Amino acid sequence: AKREGRNTVRFFSLNLQEQIQDALALTRDLRWAQERGQLVLHYQPKVNAVTQRIVGVEALIRWQHPTRGLVPPSRFIPIAEESGLIQEIGTWVIRRALAQTAEWQAAGLPVVPVAVNLSVVQFRHPGLRDSLAEALRDSGLPAAMLELELTESVAMEDSTFTIATIAGLKQLGVTLSIDDFGTGYSSLSYLKRFAVDKLKIDQSFVRGLHHDPQDEAIVTTVINLARSLGLTTVGEGVETTEQRDFLRRNGCDELQGYLFSRPLPAEAFETLLRSSVGV
C-alpha cells in the first residue's frame, strides 16, 4: 500500500466506509433472516478413505438473501458473532441438523452422525451444554449422532475453562473435532489434555499434496501424531484423486471434499444417502 501512494489510501478509506455501511445493512437483514426462512443448511458427506462409503456429514449454513442472493458463511458468520446473533443462529443450526437427521432416520434411511460448526462465541457461552442436551432430547437422537467442530484457535486456548468445557461436552456423549487443524498456534501436548476425538486436516495443506513436499510432510506428521494419540483424522478439501490417494496411502481415516461431493441441499443429500453405496 505504501508503494501505491496517497490516492490509493483515500480510495481505501472510502471503501472502508462503504464496507461498514454494508456490514450494518447485513446485520439488520440477518436479524430477520432466520424467522423469514432465509437460512438453510447444506450437507457435505465425509467418506471412509478406503471404502468411500459415507460415514458422516457436515452441515454448512447458507443465507438465501432476498436481494443479494446466496451470502456465504465467511461473509455473515463474523457479523453474527459481533452482533450476538450467532447464539440464536447457532442454536438453530444444531436443532435443524438434528431434526433433519431424525427425519431421515424415521424415513428408514441409513443415517450417519451429523457435524455442526461451533463458533467460539457459542463455545464460551455458559448455557451451551444445557442447550445441546435439550436439542438432543428434543430430536430423540443419541448424542453419538452429533459431532461438534471447533476451530483450532477456539479449542486451543490453554485454560482451565477450555478444558472443563470440553470435558463437559464429552460427558454429553457428543464427538468433538478440531477443525482447520494445523492453521493455529499448535502446541501438540494439548491434544492429549483435551479430550477431542478427531482432527480435520486443513484444506490449505491438502491442496499441496502431490506437489508440495512441505505440505506432504505436515500432513503425514499430523496423521501419525493423531494415530499415536488414538484420534481419527479427516482430510478436508479433497479435490483430486492424487490428494485422495496420498491421504489414503498415509493412513488418513476419512475424506471430505468436492472430489466426492459438494455441500448439497437436504433433498440432494437425501438421495445420496438413499443410494447408500458411497460416492
Q: Which residues bind ligand C2E (CB under 6 A)?
A: 44, 60-61, 72-74, 77, 93, 116-117, 119, 149, 179-180, 203, 237-239, 257-258, 263
Residue of the chain from 29, 147, 152, 179 that contacts Ca ion (CB under 5 A): 179
Q: Are 278 and 51 in contact (CB under 8 A)?
A: yes
State the minimum distance, in angstroms, from the CB of residue 96 to Ca ion.
Answer: 16
State the minimum distance, in angstroms, from the CB of residue 113 to ligand C2E.
Answer: 16
Find the binding residues for Ca ion in span 209-248 (CB under 5 A): 236
State the minimum distance, in angstroms, from the CB of residue 185 to Ca ion.
Answer: 16
d(CA 136, CA 152): 25
- Which position has the grid cell 503425514? 220
Chain centre to alpha carbon of residue 160: 24
Chain centre to alpha carbon of residue 212: 25
Phi, psi torsion values for 232, nearest 5 degrees: -80, 140
State the minimum distance, in angstroms, from the CB of residue 106 to Ca ion.
Answer: 26
By beta-carbon proximity to Ca ion, the closer residue of 117 and 165 is 117
By beta-carbon proximity to ligand C2E, the closer residue of 117 and 250 is 117
Binding mask 117-156 toward Ca ion (x if CB under 5 A, else -) reads x-------------------------------x-------
Q: Considering only 48-56, 140-148, 177-185, 208-216, which stretch makes contact with Ca ion by CB under 5 A? A: 177-185
User: Which of 94, 90, 89, 169 lies closest to 139 in space, CA to CA?
Assistant: 94
Binding mask 64-103 toward Ca ion (x if CB under 5 A, else -) reads ----------------------------------------
The three-point CA angle 272-256-262 to 5° equals: 55
By beta-carbon proximity to Ca ion, the closer residue of 33 and 114 is 114
State the minimum distance, in angstroms, from the CB of residue 253 to ligand C2E.
Answer: 17
The helices-and-strands tally (H runs, E runs) of the chain is: 12, 10
Does 254 interact with Ca ion (rule: CB under 5 A)? no
Q: What sign has the CA pseudo-torsion 143, 146, 147, 149?
A: negative
What is the DSSP track for 16-73? HHHHHHHHHHHHHHHHHHTTTT-EEEEEEEEEETTT--EEEEEEEEEEEETTTEEEPH
Does 253 interact with Ca ion (rule: CB under 5 A)? no
Question: Residues interacting with Ca ion, by CB under 5 A?
Answer: 117, 149, 179-180, 236
